[in-house]
């Protein structure tokens, strides 16, 4: 089975930022998609872009950060895909977007609908889904100003996304119940957080596979 992990810097494996321009990344094998792949034996394709939003062009970092723009191409690139795991919404919490938690969850749901309307699955069927609410952020370190007000926004995402996933009968995971952000920058996961999240995702994927 092929899984597409579609996310942002916390899927990419970006290390907590302590200085401007830092581009450090956790080594292969320690990022949560790698952990999930190792535990399940599934082929996990990692598409994590730092700064990616759900459905919004970033006026500072560029329109290419918009997940809605790139997802159709990725579905074609990697098909057939059995399941798409979406974990986005952290960057939507930036002050420049001025969004509410419900708005951010709606962006993730918009991406999920795109997946379910595609023919990127086996035999041209739509791929399955797993929606993940990202780990709530903290306003600290060099990213505090960019994410001003983001702490409250981030904490409103999970309940809104969980409610929509339940209504649409889509699998859901709240990453905040399994991992925490690094206090260095308040946004990126620690190595321990990646391990814990990878284990949680592996458990969900194994359960979905068994039920299929």
Q: What is the DSSP string of 96-112?
A: TT---HHHHHHHHHHHH
126-156 pLDDT, tens per residue?
Answer: 999 999 999 999 999 999 999 999 999 999 9
Secondary structure (3-state) at 87: strand
- Which numeric CATH code is attached to 2-211? 3.40.50.1110
What's the pLDDT at 195? 98
Q: Which of 41, 101, 108 is nearest to 68 (CA)?
A: 108
Domain ranges of the chain: 2-211
What's the pLDDT at 21? 81
Mean pLDDT, residues 144-173: 97
Mean pLDDT, residues 207-211: 75
d(C-alpha 62, C-alpha 164), whole Å: 29
Q: What is the DSSP string of 147-178?
A: TTTHHHHHHHHHHHHHHHHHHHT--EEEGGGT
What's the pLDDT at 212? 57
Q: Which residues contact 97 (CB under 8 A, 6 or more apart)?
A: 53, 56
pTM tops 0.85, yes or no: yes
Which tokens belong to 169?
């009968």
The side-by-side arrangement of strands in the sheet containing 83-87 is: 43-48, 2-7, 83-87, 128-133, 172-174
d(C-alpha 154, C-alpha 22), whole Å: 24
Q: Which of 105, 100, 69, 103 is nearest to 86 (CA)?
A: 105
pLDDT at 210 over 70: no
What's the pLDDT at 141? 96
């Amino acid at each position: 089975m092929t899984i597409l992990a579609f996310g942002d810097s916390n899927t990419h494996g970006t290390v907590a930022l302590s200085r401007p321009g830092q581009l450090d990344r956790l080594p292969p094998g320690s990022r949560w998609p790698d952990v999930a792949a190792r535990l399940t034996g599934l082929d996990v394709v990692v598409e994590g872009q730092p700064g990616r939003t759900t459905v919004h062009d970033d006026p500072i970092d560029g329109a290419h950060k918009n997940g809605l723009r790139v997802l159709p191409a990725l579905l074609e690139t990697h098909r057939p895909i059995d399941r798409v795991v979406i974990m986005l919404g952290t960057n939507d919490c930036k002050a420049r977007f001025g969004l509410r938690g419900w708005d951010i969850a709606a962006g993730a749901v918009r991406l999920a609908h795109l997946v379910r309307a595609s023919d990127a699955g086996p035999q041209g069927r739509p791929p399955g889904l797993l929606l993940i609410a990202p780990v709530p952020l903290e306003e600290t370190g060099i990213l505090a100003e960019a994410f001003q007000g983001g702490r409250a926004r981030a904490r409103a995402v999970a309940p809104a996304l969980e409610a929509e996933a339940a209504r649409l009968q889509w699998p859901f995971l709240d990453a905040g119940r399994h991992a925490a952000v690094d206090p260095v920058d308040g946004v990126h996961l620690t190595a321990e957080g990646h391990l814990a999240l990878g284990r949680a995702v592996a458990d969900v994927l194994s359960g979905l596979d068994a039920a299929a």
